[in-house]
């Protein structure tokens, strides 16, 4: 396929470019910097003629820039627009008004891998599913990822099943993982419920860090966001780059678990897997769980997902 990557020089974008090129796709890097992009476009200019010209003739446009502008999806023409963002309100907008080529979203680590695992674990709509995501405290994330996390601080969201208002990263609970492991996670607004749908199981998302001190610091930042946001942008916590996804069915007690190193690389892997699996589909809106399952990830992408009760 001929694929344009927006934000091709970022932490995730560069890995997406590498993986796509390694699998034989023709990749065109699109962005503002003429020294590091094949086509120069100011993506912050809300679409426009220059953007439409840059992506003309593409089969796929991957938005790894962190710019959440629905115009980029709406003006993608006949190319399928793929977005790795994790902001629910933005994803709702691009899913509601896709261009002719359609959209593929909820790809990456979360949502994406989390959604695929949750879909595999829930037997029916009466089930409740808890998703615990651990991110590596020591990994150097791109500016877009830092800004996304900073945007969570002090923000509230409404639980789609109960209608209860929840403040990000303040409420917490312990989730039991494989071999009796236990870790404290903080309730967080991820858009997995968009992929699973209103008729699916109730999903609750939680976030933690690989370092206990980094998790505590993130919770404190959420309690005092006016102080936490500038500190988050300046200070990089130490620790490992290990990530994990734990999904538990509240009714049956069954769980699925996987882990790895380098969140950006994992996000790129899921994104590329979803792009290839969606090839030939004509659906106006596709999600990762529509085109991938845990067996495909295990057999073709070396993502080992363990299960238990």
Q: Identify whether 290 is part of a domain.
A: no
Q: What is the pLDDT of residue 141?
A: 74
- C-beta separation of 205 from 188 below 8 A: yes
Q: Cβ–Cβ contacts within 10 Å for residue 146, how many?
A: 18
Task: In whole angstroms, give the CA distance from residue 16 to residue 22.
Answer: 10
By DSSP bridging, strand 156-158 and strand 128-135 are unpaired
pLDDT tens-digit profile, the chain (309 residues): 999 999 999 889 999 999 999 999 999 999 888 888 899 888 877 558 889 999 999 999 999 998 999 999 999 999 999 999 989 999 999 999 888 999 999 999 999 999 999 989 876 777 789 999 999 988 877 777 788 888 899 899 998 888 999 999 998 899 988 877 788 999 999 989 888 876 778 899 999 999 888 899 999 999 999 998 888 887 777 778 999 999 999 888 899 999 999 999 999 999 999 999 999 999 999 999 999 999 999 988 989 999 988
Q: How far is CA 91 from CA 69, 72, 204, 285, in A?
A: 10, 12, 18, 11
Q: What is the pLDDT of residue 47?
A: 58
Residue keyed to tokens 């780059």: 241
Both tokens assigned to 308: 């238990």
Residues 52 and 98 both lie in one domain: yes
Give the DSSP letter string of 143-183.
HHHHHHHHHHTT-EEE-TTT--EEETTTSEEEEE-GGG-EE
Task: In whole angstroms, give the CA distance from residue 87 to residue 190.
Answer: 7
SS3 of residue 280 by DSSP = coil
Q: What is the pLDDT of residue 139?
A: 81
Q: Identify whether 295 is part of a domain.
A: no
Residues 192 and 213 both lie in one domain: yes
Phi then psi dihedrals of residue 270, to 5 deg: -65, -40
Residues 23 and 81 both lie in one domain: yes
Question: What's the domain count of the chain?
Answer: 2
Task: In whole angstroms, give the CA distance from residue 37 to residue 54.
Answer: 11
Q: What is the pLDDT of residue 162?
A: 86
Identify the CATH number of the domain in which residue 49 sits: 3.40.50.720
Cis before 111 (ω within 30): yes
Please state whether 281 falls in left (phi above 0), alpha (psi between -120 and 50) or beta.
beta
Q: Identify whether 166 is part of a domain.
A: yes
Q: Identify whether 119 is part of a domain.
A: yes
Q: Identify whether 298 is part of a domain.
A: no
Both tokens assigned to 200: 């699916």
Phi then psi dihedrals of residue 46, to 5 deg: 55, 60
Residues 244 and 124 both lie in one domain: yes
Q: What is the pLDDT of residue 232?
A: 81
Task: In whole angstroms, give the CA distance from residue 270 to residue 226.
Answer: 34
Residues 116 and 258 both lie in one domain: yes
Identify the CATH number of the domain in which residue 189 sits: 3.30.360
Domain of residue 138 covers: 110-262
Residues 78 and 159 both lie in one domain: no
SS3 of residue 272 by DSSP = helix
SS3 of residue 107 by DSSP = coil
């Amino acid at each position: 396929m001929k694929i344009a990557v927006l934000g091709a020089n970022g932490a995730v974008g560069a890995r997406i470019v590498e993986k796509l090129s390694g699998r034989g796709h023709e990749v065109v890097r699109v962005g503002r910097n003429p020294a590091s992009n094949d086509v120069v476009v100011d993506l912050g200019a809300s679409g426009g003629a220059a953007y439409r010209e840059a992506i003309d003739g593409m089969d796929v446009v991957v938005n790894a820039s962190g710019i959440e502008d629905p115009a980029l999806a709406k003006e993608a023409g006949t190319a399928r627009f793929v977005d790795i963002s994790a902001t629910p309100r933005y994803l709702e907008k691009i899913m509601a008004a896709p261009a002719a080529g359609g959209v593929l979203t909820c790809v990456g680590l979360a949502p994406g891998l989390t959604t695929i695992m949750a879909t595999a674990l829930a037997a029916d709509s009466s089930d409740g599913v808890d998703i615990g995501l651990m991110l590596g405290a020591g990994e150097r994330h791109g500016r877009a990822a830092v800004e996304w996390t900073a945007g969570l601080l002090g923000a509230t969201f409404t639980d789609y099943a109960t209608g209860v208002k929840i403040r990000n990263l303040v409420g917490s609970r312990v989730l039991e993982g494989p071999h009796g492991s236990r870790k404290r996670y903080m309730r967080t607004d991820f858009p997995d419920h968009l992929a699973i749908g209103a008729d699916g199981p109730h999903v609750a998302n939680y976030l933690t860090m690989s370092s206990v001190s980094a998790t505590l610091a993130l919770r404190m930042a959420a309690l005092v966001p006016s102080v936490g946001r500038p500190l988050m942008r300046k200070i990089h916590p130490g620790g490992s780059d290990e990530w994990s996804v734990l999904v538990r069915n509240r009714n049956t007690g069954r769980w699925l678990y996987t882990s790895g190193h380098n969140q950006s690389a994992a996000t790129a892997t899921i994104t590329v897997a979803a792009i290839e699996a969606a090839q030939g589909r004509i659906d106006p809106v596709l999600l990762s769980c529509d085109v991938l399952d845990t067996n495909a990830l295990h057999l073709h992408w070396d993502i080992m997902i363990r299960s238990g009760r």
